Amino acid sequence: MHVVVTGAAGYVGRALAHRLLDAGFLASQEIDYLTLLDRTFDSPPATATTMQRTIDLTDSAHLRAIFRERPVDAIFHLASIPGGTAERQYALARSVNLDATLSLLELCQAQVDGGGPMPLFVFASSIATLGMLPDVVDDNTPMRPRMTYGAHKRIGEILVDDFTRRGWVDGRSLRLPGVLARPPGRTGQLSAFLSDLMRELAGGRPFTCPTGPSATTWASSLPCVVDNLVFAASAPSDAFASERALTLPTLRFSMQEAVDAVGRIFNTPARELVRWAPNAQIEALFGAFPPLSTHRADAIGFRNDGDLDRLVRRALAGEDSLMSYS
């Protein structure tokens, strides 16, 4: 079995690669080759059958070479240009978020048309596809993205649906929520303050939050998201029916609830350390999430963190603890 992960040096991609290496199996099949794709890598591959390829995903020749070496059985397509950067750099976002996604899908098509296996295609979409949110979000909520990133992810979902219908991939698109807690550094993601809030307050350091205390958000821990990505590749194809995109179960909580949970778990004076400085744009995009119902994903078997305290513990445990969670 040959598994490919794009965006494999990123926050979620690195954790997913660790999980796959640790398990050695995907969907009850032994992983013979794991190919990790990204622009740069910080460390060498962990095993002789793990191949790190430093490539430009927008160069279709690079991608064709991966498929020529050996047939691809499963792809986790995580690579993307996120929200804030996509707004500022449209051409770059289009080339990575749209053109590279289409190139990967068409390479899967060519493999099937040439008599090869139909790849499993797990596409990391985003709740940014939802855009304008009603009072309650459920499986019937229309997609009305308000940012280029969300529009690109919605187009990717439609492409995965169509290529699945035509028998070129077995696609599953997961709308990921905020993933916590990302390491410090510039990521181009406007929602990065959520990770910063938890990490700084847990360390007993002051933090200025760009929302008010009553602002509400959706988020999951990194281990929870990795669990759901792996589960997506293991669930039976017919469980997804004709609509292959779904919103993952996640927790909804207020910023004040997050502050209190961090203070409670790490025994820091979190309420005293936080200063509220609401930014209208940030609050509109990331601080007004309504109740969420995910019946389709729940029925298939996807899960959230369970409760906010567990989310905070898992989010701040670090990547070394990824394998200890189920």
Q: Indicate which residues carry an active-site annotation.
A: 149
3-class DSSP assignment, residue 285: helix
Local structure of 212: helix, strand or coil: coil
Residue-level length of the chain? 326
Element (H or E) spanning 310, and its range? helix 308-315
Q: How far apart are CA 25 and CA 27, in angstroms?
A: 7
Give me 275's structure tokens. 């200063």
- First-to-last C-alpha distance (Å) of the chain: 23
162 with 147: CB under 8 angstroms? no
Order of strands, sheet of 251-254, starting from the edge strand that comes earlier in the sequence? 178-180, 216-221, 251-254
| Inter-residue contact 274 to 198 (CB < 8 Å) | no
**Token code pair at residue 230:** 């792996």
Backbone CA torsion sign across 8, 10, 13, 17:
positive
The C-alpha atoms of residue 197 and residue 274 are separated, in whole angstroms, by: 8
